[in-house]
Structure 1
Amino acid sequence: MLTLALGLGLVADIFFYARRLDGVATPIFSMLVLFALTGISWLEQRPAGPNRWLILLVLNFALWPALRTEPLLVFLDLLALAGVWLALAVGFRSDALYLLPLQRVAKRAIATLFDLILAPLTLVVRQLSQVAWPGLRLQRLFPVLRGLLLALPVLLVFAALLSAADQIFATYLAQILTLQLPFPPEVMFQHSVFILFVACLVAGIILTALADGMQATPSLPAEGDTERLDRAGLMQLRFLGNTEALTILFLVNLLFAVFMLVQAAYLFGGLDTLAQSGLTYAEYARRGFFELLLVAFLTLGMLCFLAVTTRDESHVRRMLFRLANVLLVLLVLGILASAFQRMWLYELAYGFTRLRIYTHSFMILLAVIFLLFSVALVLIRPRIFVLGTVAAMLVYLTILNVVSPDTIIVRENIARYQADPSSLTLRGAGSVAVRATPMVDLDYLLSLSPDAMPALAQALPTFASPERAQLAQELAEYEQRLEVEYRLAGWQGWNVGRLRALLALRALDLAP
C-alpha cells in the first residue's frame, strides 16, 4: 500500500507540480486514487459499506474542474472535492452516515484530518523498524547513525584545517564534495517534498478509509429520541431557560417586524417607489444589501445557539419556543427577499458581475437553509438541518457549474445592450457613448474566464460596426493569449472550457 501511495505521489508530481488544477488531470488522478482504494478493499474481500454513493460525489466534483475555468467556481469545486474525500475516508466502511450520531461523525472527521498525516508516518516507522538484513534489524543501526551525526562536526573542522594546510588536498576534497548534478538540488528537493506529501495524503486516505468504520448501536432507540440534538451529549449545554429564550425571540421578532413594515413599500413597489424616494440604485442597494445578508447570518447563528442551549421546561413553553423560532424564520425570509430585491434593482441598472451572481444566488441557498432549520426544529430532528444543509450546498454548487456564471453574465449583459445599444461602454479601448449607468461593460466581459467567450463570440455580429470592429480586435488578442495558455497547460491542463472558447474564437476568423 505504501508503494502504491508513493507511485501515486509520482503521478501527482507529473500531473500537478507547477501546473493548473483546472484540467483533465484532476478527474484522472481522483479516479486513480479511487481504483487504488477499491482495489485494496477488493483484495481484502471487504468492500465498501452503504456509503459507497460518496464515490459518485467524488467523481462529480472531480470532473467539473476539467469542464469550467472560472477561478472561484473551480476553487469551490476543489474545496467540495476535498470535503467529499474526507467524508469517504470517514464513512467508507462505516454504517450509513445518516444513521450515526452527529457528534460521533464530527469527532471522527476531526480525527481523520490528523490521521491523514499521522497514520502513514506511523506505518512507515513501523515498517522500517521491521526491515532486516541477515541477522540485523534497523534498530541496531540507530547507534551507528547517532555516531555519524556526532562525527560530522569533527570531520568538518579537521577537513577545513587540512585543506588550509595543503592546496592539493583541498582541490581533491572540493572535487569530491562538489556534485555536478544535471538539475539544481533545490528543484529535486521541491519535487521530493511534493511527491512525499501527496503520497502521505493518499496513504492516509486509504488507511483511514479501510479501517474499521463507525457502527450504529445494535438497538437504536426511536428516531425522535435519537434526534433530540443527541440528548445524552448535549443536555449539559442546556443552561438557558425558556423564559430567557422567549424574551430574546420576542424582541428580535418585534424589531424585524417593524423593519419589514418599513420595507414593504420598497419590496412590492419596485422601481417606481424607489424613484419617489429620491434614492439612486447604488444608494439603495449598496447601503443595505450586505448589512441585510449579515443580519441573516447572525440570526441563523442565534437560532442554532438557542436551539442547543434552551431547556425544555414544559410542553406549552416548548411549543411557544418553536412558534417564535418559526415566526423569526419567516421574518428573516422577508429580509432576504428585501435584499434579493435590492440586488435585483442594482443588476437592472448596472448589469451582472460575478460578485452579484454569487451573492444573489447564495441568498436562495440561505433561504433553503432557514427552511430546513424550521422543519428540523418542529420535528425535533436536527439531522434534517445538518444533512439537508450539506446536501443543499452540494446541489447549489453543482447547479452553478451547470449554468456557468460567466456565461450568464455575458448573455444577460449583452441582452441589455441589444435592448439599448447606446448604453455600450468600452473604457479600455476609448470607445464612445458612456452613460452614467452603463448596462454593459465589454472591458469587464473580456476579463472573464474562457467559459464566457463562446457566448461573447456568438454575440459579436449583433454589435454596430464601430463597436464590432473594436470587440473583434479585443477577441483576437484574447485568442492569442488563450493559444499560449493552452500550449503551456499541456495535456494535464486540457480543459473543455478553454477548448470551447478557443474553437469559438477560431470560428470567427479574427486573424488580421
Structure 2
Amino acid sequence: MTPNRVLLTAAVAGAAGAVLLPLDRPGLGWVLTALVVFGLLRRVAPGWAALSTALFAVGAFLAAEWLFALCAVAGCAAGSLAVAGGRTARGLVLGSVAVPVASFRALPWLARGLRGGGVPAAARPVLVTVALLLVFVPLLAGADESFADLLGTLTPEADGVSLVVFPLVALGVLGACHLLAVPVDLDGTARPARRVARRDWALPVGALVALFAAFAGVQLTTLLAGDAHVVTTDGLTYSGYARTGFWQLLAVTVLTLGVIAPVARFARLDTDRDRTWLRGLLGALAVLTLVIVASALTRMWLYQQAYGFTVPRLLVLACELWLGAVYLLVIAAGVELDGARLARAVVATGFGALLVLAALDPDRFVAERNVERWQRYGTIDLPYLSTLSDDAVPAILTLPDHLRDCAFAMRGPFTADDWRTWNLGREIARRRTAEAGLTACGP
C-alpha cells in the first residue's frame, strides 16, 4: 500500500467515523463504522474481523451500556488481531494492542513516504470534491428549508465529538496500514524458547496436584450436599458461603492458568517419559481445577437463588463458566500434547462468551428472574430494577400496575435516537411503554 493510498484510506475512515460513530451510547453506527474500516483495509484475517464486527453489532441490539463497553473493548482487540495476527499466547496479547501502538509509529513512517511528493495524486479528486461540496451544499440548504432538514438528519453536527472521533479512527487505520505494510514478529519465533528439564517443573506441579486433590476431596462432599450444606451448618449463611470463598476460588482458577501455560510452553520433552509426566500432571491439575470451578459456580448459584439475581453476580457467573470451558480446552489439547491452537481457541472463546452473554440479554434476564422471585416470594427490589437499562423494560411491564408505576417513576426519560444511535433494545422499550400508556417517568 503506497503512502498516498494510506493517507487517503485513513482520511476516509476518519470521516466515516466522524459521521457514523456515536460515542455517548450503543447504537447502529458502531457496527457500520467497523464495516467501513474493515472494508477499507481488506487484507485482514476474516475470522477475527467477523468476530470484531459481531461484538460491535451488540450496540445495535442491546441498550446495556456496561455490556457494550466490554464488547467494544473486545471488538477493538479482535480488530487488532485481524490486522496483526498472532498464534502463540505472547503473540495474541501483543496482537490485541498492536494497532493502537503502531498508530504512533506510523506517523513518522507516513511522513517519510510523503516527503517531497506534494499533494498525493489519489487525494486530488477528493480535495476537489470537498471544495465543491463546501460551496454548493450551504447554498442549496439555504435555498430550501426541507432540504436543510434532510441534511440535518443525514449528517451529524460538527461538535466536539466528531472532532475527537475523526483523528482517533484515522490514527487507528493508519496504524493498521503500517502493520500490513511492515509486519512485526509478535510470536517471537525468531528466538527459540529456552526449555526446562523435567526435574525443574515436575515437583512444583506435582505439589499443586496433591494440594488440589485434597481440596477437591473436601469440596465433593459439599457439592453433593448442595443447599443442605448451608442449611445444616451452624452459623453459615448463603451470603457468607459465597463471599468467603468465591473470590478466592476465582483467583485460584485464573492463577492456575498462569502455571499450566508456561509449563506447557517451556517443558523439555526429550523422551516419551517426559511427555507422559507432562500429560499426566497438567491433565490432573486441569481436572482438579474443574472441581474448584464447580465449587465456585455452586456457591454463586446458591447465593443468587437465595438473594436474587443482579448483573454483577450474573457477570462473575458467566466468567466462571468461561474459565471452565478454558480448562476443558486445556484437557482436550493435552490429550495429544498439541497446544498450537490452544491460545487462539482460548481468546476466541473469551470473545464468544461475550457474544453468548449478549444473546442472553443480561439486564432483561435479571429483571425477569426478579419478577419471578416476586411472584414466588412477594419481595422485589424496585430501586435496583429501575437502574437497569431499557432492555429490562419489557420485564418490568409485566409487574402489577402499582409496582410497575413505582419502578417507572424512578427511571429517567427515554433518549431520542437517530439512524446512527438506533438501538433495538431502546426501540422495543419505547414501543412497549407507549402501548401500555406509560412514559419512562411514570403513567
Match status 1:472 vs 2:405: yes
Equivalent in 273, 282, 285 of residue 328 of structure 1: 285
Change (3 A) 1:22 1:415: same
The one-letter amino acid paired with 2:348 is A
Whether 1:316 aligns to 2:273 is yes
Q: Distance in 2 between matches of 1:189 and 1:500?
A: 30
Q: Is the 8 A contact 2:363 2:391 kept in 1?
A: yes
Which residue of 179, 187, 197 maps to 2:168? 197
What residue in structure 1 maps to residue 365 of structure 2? 408
Equivalence for 2:72? 78
What residue is the counterpart of 1:338 in the other structure? 295
Structure 1 residues not aligned, in runs of 5+: 39-47, 92-96, 133-186, 216-228, 425-439
Contact residue 367 and residue 396 of structure 2 kept, 8 A: yes
- Helix, strand or coil: the match of 1:364? helix
Secondary structure in structure 2 of the residue aligned to 1:482: coil
Residue in structure 2 matching 1:122, options 109, 120, 139: 109
Q: Select the residue among 386, 394, 402 that pairs with 2:351.
A: 394
Q: Which amino acid aligns with 1:492?
A: R
Q: How many Å apart are 1:351 and its aligned residue?
A: 0.8
Structure 2 CA distance for partners of 1:244 and 1:341, relative to 1, 3 Å: same
CA contact 1:476–1:510 (8 Å) conserved in 2: no
Q: Which amino acid aligns with 1:23?
A: G
Query: How many residue pairs were aligned?
Result: 395
State the AA in 2 paired with 1:348.
Q
| Higher mean displacement: 469-478 or 23-32 | 469-478
| Structure (1 or 2) with the larger CA radius of gyration | 1
Partner of 2:60: 66
Once the two structures are TM-superposed, the CA of residue 316 in structure 1 deviates from its matched residue by 2.1
Amino acid at match of 2:404: L
Aligned-residue offset at 1:300: 1.4
Unaligned runs of 5+ in 2: 120-157
1:447 aligns with 2:418: no
RMSD: 3.0
Instruction: Go from structure 1 to structure 2 and tell me whether the alpha carbon gap of 1:482 and 1:128 turns closer, same or farther (over 3 Å shift).
Output: farther
| CA distance in structure 2 between the partners assigned to 1:112 and 1:196 by the alignment | 14
Q: Write the mapping of 1:46-445 to structure 2, written as runs, cut at 5 A.
A: 48=43, 51-90=45-84, 112-131=99-118, 192=163, 194-209=165-180, 211=181, 233-236=191-194, 238-239=195-196, 241-278=197-234, 279-312=236-269, 314-421=271-378, 424=379, 440-445=380-385
Tell me if structure 1 keeps the 8 A contact 2:385–2:407. no
Deviates more, 1:325-334 or 1:59-68: 59-68
Shift of 1:264: 2.1
Would the aligned equivalents of 1:68 and 1:497 in 2 still touch at CA under 8 Å?
yes
In structure 1, the residue corresponding to 2:420 is in which secondary structure? Answer: helix
**What is the SS of the residue equivalent to 1:308?**
helix
Task: Give, in whole Å, the separation in 1 of the partners of 2:227 and 2:333.
Answer: 37
CA distance in 1 between counterparts of 2:68 and 2:31 reads: 13
Seen in structure 2, the aligned counterparts of structure 1 residues 70 and 314 have a Cα distance that, compared at 3 Å, is same
Q: How far off is 1:63 after superposition?
A: 1.3
Q: Is the 8 A contact 2:62 2:425 kept in 1?
A: yes
**TM-score, normalised on structure 2?**
0.80
Per-residue displacement from partner, 1:369-406 (whole Å, max 9, x unpaired)? Answer: 11212222332222232121022112211111111111
Measured against aligned partners, the alpha-carbon deviations of 1:410-461 in whole angstroms (never above 9, x if no partner) come to 111211221122xx2xxxxxxxxxxxxxxx312111111111111221x22x
Q: For residues 399 and 61 of structure 1, do their structure 2 counterparts lie closer, same or farther at Cα, with a shift above 3 Å needed?
A: same
Identity over the aligned pairs, expressed in percent?
A: 26
The structure-2 alpha-carbon separation of the partners of 1:292 and 1:234, relative to structure 1 and needing over 3 Å to count, comes to: farther
Aligned equivalent of 1:30, options 23, 29, 34: 34
Deviation at 1:12, TM superposition (A): 2.5
Residue matched to 2:145:
none
Cα distance, 1:115 vs. partner? Answer: 2.7
Distance, in Å, in 1 between the alignment partners of 2:403 and 2:427 is: 24
* Distance of 1:310 and 1:57 partners within structure 2: 33
> Equivalent residue for 1:456?
396
Instruction: Give the conservation status (yes or no) of the 8 Å contact 1:369–1:385.
Output: no
The 1:234/1:283 distance shift into structure 2, 3 A limit, reads farther
Q: Give the direction of change, closer, same or farther, for the CA distance of 1:190–1:341 in structure 2 (3 Å limit).
A: closer
Change (3 A) 1:419 1:234: farther
Normalising by structure 1, report the TM-score.
0.70
Check conservation: 1:116, 1:208, Cα contact below 8 A: no
